[in-house]
Structure 1
């Protein structure tokens, strides 16, 4: 076929075998109408096959009939019991079902509070480096002995079952004399305490234990701290803002010194009669009437000027200190 002087190629039609089979079956159904008898025959055969399979299964597993009969008897006896199913529940669950409310679930946070108060001293003990005995003694006195022995004394090996521990260890390592001959004094002390988990460790032992563990922890750390790197990076990023800040403090210091000098001069004028009459003329211009000069108002104005001068001096001193600190931080960053 040619369109606009060009020849258009048509793709060959692809046939589906499944679609052809369906089409043939539908043509045969249109002539002979065999779909309904086939449907009925399939349903009958399916029911007969299922019954046959169930019969063979029951005959091969006849003990299931006795099990089902026993379960049915138990269910009927429970349903017929006038005391109800609640008698099989423990007392705590009965109280929860009959007396509990949704409010109790939301309000009762005692498990969380008990967990925090139980393991909080352990977290505080982990933060100690073992150099001071007073904080350790204070924490140990406020901790439960069971928790202290569980956290510090018992090794992971002690949680294994007894027969498994006997199978894992050779015979010569089961005696304490061999354990004392191996390792240094610190590990031997830990072994002794671990063997007798009923004893509460002393403050000296805990202090020694924390020092050894912190030393091992520091030896495992291979990389330097991030805070100097973070501080230097922030210093490079904030360098333009630091420059603007220094210029801002410089201008604030200049304005504060200027206002301080002006306040001192105005205080001197107010103590003199010149300032008093200037204040009188300014008040007369604002109120549009004559004002009698009063020495008390001039003294008040002089005191306010002195306080303003003092405040300006304080602001200038603070600005100077801020500039010095920024300069020192810049030198340390470099």
Structure 2
């Protein structure tokens, strides 16, 4: 392995706000792996909603509008003190980036030195002592928007695949979020599933992963992205603003997988069958939704909020990748130094799949 330098290229998030809070530097000290950690040379890293949500402080309860509304400039009403996804005060500067594909170049105490040189994919949710205690890679700890990143050894999963680092970096955050929702809702072969936001990173991942399970998929996506979503496995595609009740009636789907939220939420519960399951891991159309409790209890529905990964989710995901059961969907790549341009493109929502950054280019 090449020698590890003393400094690296990295993007520092210096505070909450607009793109001016992203500072690309080339003099950031390379982190040293601590006890139980590995140091990874990052080959590629993905762009996710959570990066922008953290920068703009969208997680603050004072913000009630859709994520992209403040993606460029931030939210004037946001409050830093509750803007972390855990509800804690974020620490700046922070290296963001939840997706990392690369190779281990150094290990800390307690880690087998034989891991040096191993190709890995980082599981972005670092589980704590209890089931619902966790830290997020690129949020509470520094992440992958850099040439080097450290992670707990247990969350740096070995992977053997001919896929490139750019292709691999499209998987961790989006696909683990999608697989976690499918796992929590126990989607089974032959069941009908409705997937919102199906052209985005998590939505397109959910389509592929639901197809892998043998489900019958209806996806919501704009007409110009329908073909891209169809090839991933959707049997039917409807517009994002479709009248779902008129199309499907009051009891049609076994499961709803939602990353949109907002004004469309009530209809999602209406089209679920009695005993249906709803899983959510995002609110790109708005965090405030109307809930008729009569719909919830009279139909015996189960609602799952999905953030912290079930323990089997990421190992299963690595297996799917290695066996070629799912494929990467990369919409575009940018050098890490062009992170602002990449986030601007991300916010237009004109792509299908993931936008990926490459450090050191």
TM-score over 0.5 for the alignment? no
The TM-score with structure 1 as length reference comes to 0.16
The structure whose RCO (Cα within 8 Å, separation 6+) is larger is: 2
Normalising by structure 2, what TM-score?
A: 0.15
Rg: which structure is higher?
Answer: 1
